[in-house]
Structure 1
Amino acid sequence: MLTKFPQALMLGILRGIVQSFKLQRIRTKSLLFSVGLGLSLAIWAVSAMQTVAQNSANPTVVRIGYQKAATVLNALKARGELEKALAASGSSVKWTEFPAGPPMLEAMNAGSIDFGYTGEAPPIFAQAAGTPLVYVAYDPWSPKAEAIIVPKDSPIKTVADLKGKRVAFAKGSNTNYLVVKALEKAGLKYSDIKPAFLAPADARAAFEGRNVDAWAIWDPYLAAVEQATGARTLTDATGLAPNRGYYLAAKSFVEQYPSALKTVLDRVSKVSDWAKQNPAQVAKFLAPQLGIDAAALEVAEKRREYGVLPITSEIIARQQQVADTFYKINLMPKEIKVQEIVWKGNL
């Protein structure tokens, strides 16, 4: 016959079983926490490694936009030195020519190019339009390297005489800014002229065909038309516009491939130093590629400055003035802050 368990003994056994389950639950939770923490750390480590790898990797192709006015990039392309520098890391180079800065930066916005060079105005309009670009360096160029010109026998003698006249220039270009500042100095408003927004090739045809009264243009187009037609300068940019050039890169390229960016800037700087010391050689070297007479190119080379320089607070302030001017005359839809898209890296 089975003996009944005493009540106290039965309660003790039950408490033991419950305590055992509690301890098991604690161990399970601890184990799950440890596993979860381990997985989190592993995921973080993988993510960090991927970021480092991404930032140190090299692109398959570095896509560069250039225009005929950009002597340094033209020389860099012709000499093939960038291709040599990037080949060791497995990257190639693709060059695309543009008639002016604005369409070049439109291509950057579309993701078609990684790096380019323009005058001071195009990146301002591009930033206002939301283009993800970054200022990475600047070129001092020269206020003598752009001007407002008229035919040699034109009755127009001063900038003030442009009132009511048709003036050609590329919209959103550095010469667009020159026109605004020259009119202000002459006591005129931007609305006092009739702008003809034309790319350089079309503007020259209109200028020589007398379909416009004046043309605001930069070198080497300026030197070429002066030599070919004897065009007369109303004013250059001295005291009106700094006429700097800017090296720009797509934001994604800067973030993902800083090493490749520094390689590009290093090679640009080396070619810039060479060009500064050899204006005649540069002109002879580039004449057949640009389709511009070597004598005109040499004039353009001798009146410009060279350099691949870091963006300083002073340069940012001057560029901000350009942006504020365009906003003031309603050419830009909104105000921008140039400082927000300046590269923090080192040349």
Structure 2
Amino acid sequence: MITRRNTLASFAVAAALALSGGAAFAEAPESFKVGYQKSASILVIARKQELLEKRLAELGVDKVEWVEFQFGPPLLEALGSGAVDIGFVGDAPPIFAQAAGANLVYVASTPSVFSGILVPEDSETKEIADLEGKRVALAKGSSSHNFTVQALKVGGLGFDAIQPSYLAPADAAAAFASGAVDAWTVWDPYLALAEQRHGARLLATSETDPALQSNSFYLANRSFAEAHPDVVDAALQEIAAATRWGAAHRDDLAEISAQATGVDLAAQKVAVNRYEIAVYPITEETLAKQQAIADAFFELGLIPKAIDVTAYAWGEKPNI
């Protein structure tokens, strides 16, 4: 029996074959699993507007599943194992995952959200060099891990100069508020919220030095991306559409993000207005920047072996 789904899938496969010069794709998967964090506002938009559901149905994908994570490392663990097919994280998680042999590929990049190191308003810590010997909260293996490494370097310190307290953002927020840690490295909207709730002071930010600016990434499970490049490309096109919408409707983006995260709207408005909302294909320059981070992590003993970031670049260029 020929169903509407089969007919749509047949047309989609034919179109994909034409665009790919005849290369055959595997049969459409029944579901497409997206790993996301509530702070990833663009994916929150894509989910709310059902962009992926509508587009991937045209390729024969019955269902899009959204799997929530609090931060990057556990998301990439799921991505590498195939528990999710695509996900969005900061710059450091892919490096730790790659060092562990994770089965994933970089498929697109974005400028990272605003990040920084916070200290209490009345702290005697006035500059990065003053962090020596201090307890600094950060999420291990997350973008805040790399931000801390790079900020300390800018301040003339090594990572071993501090006492890292490895805490997820929610736990770090509590530790910072109680005084259990001296400083906290984190990203927006947690950063903006701490500024507003606790009068926290920014010691260093992603705007204070070019070395502290970074990228975030969309990554896919390698096996899935190789078997279904058409699905990954279509998903990225819809994510790009959500990105353009978010860039043009920042107040709406803040409201939707506030509803999703429970973070105060005022903090969300600060967050969405202090970073570039865009998405790009992976470039040699982007990979080179990731390679520099990977090399630094290896030299510091944060990863067990040297890695080649380019070996984890997707072989396709998305139409975004």
What is the deviation of 1:110?
A: 2.3
Match of 1:306 in 2: 277
Alignment deviations for residues 234-271 of structure 1 (CA, whole Å, 9 cap, x no partner)? 00123222221100000011011111111100000000
Secondary structure of the corresponding residue to residue 25 of structure 2: helix
**For 1:286, which of 227, 240, 257 is the aligned residue?**
257
Aligned to 1:121: 92
Report what 1:150 is aligned to: 119
CA RMSD of aligned residues (A): 1.4
Equivalent position to 1:315, from 286, 293, 306: 286
Give the C-alpha shift of residue 89 in structure 1. Answer: 3.0
Superposition pairs of residues 108-187 of structure 1, within 5 angstroms: 108-142=79-113, 145-187=114-156
Residue of structure 1 equivalent to 2:54? 84
- For 2:41, the equivalent position in structure 1 comes to 71
Distance 1:321 1:258 in 2: 28
1:84 aligned partner, one-letter code: K
The code of the aligned residue for 2:138 comes to F
Pick aligned residue for 1:338 from 309, 316, 319: 309
CA contact (8 A) 1:136 1:248 kept: yes
Q: CA deviation at 1:169?
A: 0.3
Higher Rg: 1
Work out which of the residue numbers 211, 235, 240 in structure 2 matches 1:264: 235
Q: 2:183 aligns with which of 206, 214, 239?
A: 214
Mapped partners of 2:23, 2:108: distance in 1: 25
What is the SS of the residue equivalent to 1:94?
Answer: strand
| Greater fraction helix | 1
Structure 2 SS opposite 1:254: helix
SS of aligned partner of 2:101: coil
Letter aligned with residue 308 of structure 1: V
Partners of 1:247 and 1:187 lie apart in 2 by 32
Please report how far the alpha carbon of residue 286 of structure 1 lies from its aligned counterpart in structure 2 after TM superposition: 2.2
User: Which secondary structure does the structure 2 equivalent of 1:139 belong to?
Assistant: strand
> Does 1:192 find its partner at 2:148?
no
Matched, 1:249 2:220: yes
| Match of residue 299 from structure 2 | 328
State the one-letter code of the partner of 1:66. Answer: Y
For the residue of structure 2 that corresponds to 1:55, the secondary structure is coil
Alpha-carbon distance between aligned partners in 2 of 1:162 and 1:257, rounded to the nearest angstrom: 47
Which residue does 2:5 correspond to in 1?
none
Q: 1:252/1:162 Cα in 2 relative to 1: closer, same or farther (>3 Å)?
A: same
**Does 1:231 pair with 2:208?**
no
Q: Quote the Cα distance in structure 1 between the aligned partners of 2:213 and 2:171.
A: 25
Correspondence for 1:58:
28
Partner SS, residue 283 of structure 1: helix
Consecutive unaligned residues of structure 2, counting only runs of 5 or more, are 1-21
Deviations 1:140-160 (A, max 9, x none): 235xx0000011122211111
Match of 1:48 in 2: none
Q: Mind listing any 5+ residue stretches in structure 1 that lack a counterpart?
A: 1-51
Structure 1 vs Structure 2: percent identity of aligned residues? 44
SS in 2 for 1:89: coil
- List per-residue Cα deviations over 1:276-315 (Å, max 9, x = no partner): 1111111112212111111111111011112221111111
How far is the alpha carbon of 1:54 from its aligned partner?
Answer: 6.9
Report the TM-score, using the length of structure 2 for normalisation. Answer: 0.89
| CA gap 1:321/1:222 in 2 versus in 1, 3 angstroms | same
**SS of equivalent residue, structure 2 residue 172:** helix
Contact kept, 8 Å, 1:56 with 1:258, in 2: the verdict is: no
Whole-Å separation in 2 of the counterparts to 1:81 and 1:285: 15
Contact persistence 1:54–1:256 (CA under 8 A): no
Deviation at residue 56 of structure 1 after TM alignment: 4.5
Distance 2:75 2:227 in 1: 21
Which whole-Å deviations, capped at 9, do the CAs of 1:194-250 have from their partners, x for residues lacking one? 000011001001110111000000011111111111110000123222221100000
Structure 1 residue runs of 4+, over 4 Å off?
Answer: none
Residue 230 of structure 2 aligns with an amino acid whose one-letter code is: S
Question: In 1, are the aligned partners of 2:105 and 2:312 still within 8 Å (CA)?
Answer: yes
| Partners of 1:54 and 1:201 in 2: CA distance | 45
How many angstroms apart in 1 are the aligned matches of 2:176 and 2:129?
Answer: 19
